[in-house]
Amino acid sequence: MRIDVVTIFPEFFDVLDISLLGKARQSGLLDVSAHNLREYTHDRHRTVDDTPYGGGAGMVMKPEPWGEAIDELLGDATPERADASAPLVIFPSPAGEVFTQKMARELAHREHLIFGCGRYEGIDQRVFDHVATRAEVRLVSIGDYVLNGGEVAVMAMIEAIGRLIPGVVGNPESLVEESHEDGLLEYPSYTKPAEWRGLEVPPILLSGNHKAIDAWRREQQLERTRRVRPDLLRAETPEKAETAEA
Ligand code: ADE
């Protein structure tokens, strides 16, 4: 998968050299490049923002550098090419649709993602409108809170998407039993020693009875989800509605 990030802080993305994603980059499974938006300015001060039309607090990112940067990354892409190989342009924004595990799974199938990190009060609206004439565009939020810019949100999305690319996580089974993969929070995990500081591992996990262990884990998932995130159980499917009421 190819990922391009446009940002005024390309150094933010240096940390992608470490851990599992670093290995994925070295092995060629993931090709991430961060591009400095200021490289697409033409004035002495490399200006990327200006005051908002209509007044108001803060600064707005100017359309020209964004237009040039995204034009270069889109190359000859046209909106007619609507398969997985077509580039998808994502702008992180608290005003976007909420990023979920389901979206991460969908995006892990794409061949080329372009992320545009806004700062200040946001990017001139015409950038989104114009890019949408050339490619699929999505505004995506990582949660109902406001960050200073899109960089941290993009890091989170790259990690969530990158680990779903086949080959990035060594044991693909470990991806299946995680929070959100089946719509529930994950069950609690334990390792040796069997007793630590007076706290014991639940005896069922030492029983060797795998059917009973599976049932216990499922019950733990449901109990935890009902208690901490009842919203996850609310009625996407009739089965879920039943579990929520149980
Ligand atoms: N930029 C600022 N806040 C954000 C958020 N919550 N999600 C995505 N991008 C953002």
Residue with the smallest CA separation from ligand 1 atom 7 is: 141
- Strand intervals (E) in the chain: 2-7, 31-36, 49-50, 60-61, 88-98, 112-116, 136-141, 195-196, 199-200
Q: Which residues are annotated as a binding site?
A: 118, 142-147
Tokens of 46: 């490399």
Give the separation between CA 24 and CA 108, rounded to whole angstroms. 14
Residue 42 Cα to chain centre, angstroms: 32
- 3-class DSSP state of 52: coil
What's the pTM value of the predicted model, to 2 decimals?
0.92
Tokens encoding 54: 């209509």
Cα 153 to Cα 139: distance, rounded to the nearest angstrom: 12
Given pLDDT bands bounded at 50, 70 and 90, which one contains residue 239?
Answer: low
Reported ipTM? 0.98
Distance CA 35, CA 7 (A): 6
For 160, the enclosing helix (H) or strand (E) is helix 151-162
Work out the average pLDDT over 155-178: 90
- Mean pLDDT, the chain, rounded, equals 93
What is the mean predicted confidence (pLDDT) over 96-123? 96
pLDDT average, residue stretch 72-97 = 90
For tokens 């001060």, the residue is 45
Q: Ligand 1 pocket test: which of 93, 103, 140, 155 has the largest number of ligand atoms within 8 Å of its C-beta?
A: 93
**CB atoms near residue 135 (< 10 Å):** 20
Q: What are phi and psi of 4, to 5 degrees?
A: -115, 135
For the segment 86-114, the average pLDDT, to the nearest whole number, is 97
How far apart, in Å, are the Cα atoms of 203 and each of 108, 114, 210, 212, 217?
A: 39, 49, 13, 11, 13
| Per-residue pLDDT tens over the stretch 17-65 | 888 888 988 899 999 999 999 999 999 999 999 999 999 999 999 999 9
Nearest ligand 1 atom to the CA of 140 is 8
pLDDT at 235: 54
98, 138, 147, 151, best to mutate for ligand 1 pocket (most atoms within 8 Å of CB): 147
pLDDT average, residue stretch 210-221 = 98
pLDDT of residue 219 exceeding 90: yes
- Give residue 61's pLDDT: 98
- pLDDT of 160 strictly over 90: yes
Annotated binding residues for S-adenosyl-L-methionine, written as ranges, equal 118, 142-147
In this prediction, residues 133-158 reach a mean pLDDT of 97
Query: Using CA positions, which residue lies closest to atom 2 of ligand 1?
Result: 147
244 touches ligand 1 (CB under 6 Å)? no
Burial classification of residue 103, based on how many CB atoms lie within 10 Å of its CB (0-12 exposed, 13-18 middle, 19 or more buried): middle
Residue whose pair of structure tokens reads 């240096």 in the numeric block = 14
Atom 5 of ligand 1, nearest CA residue: 94
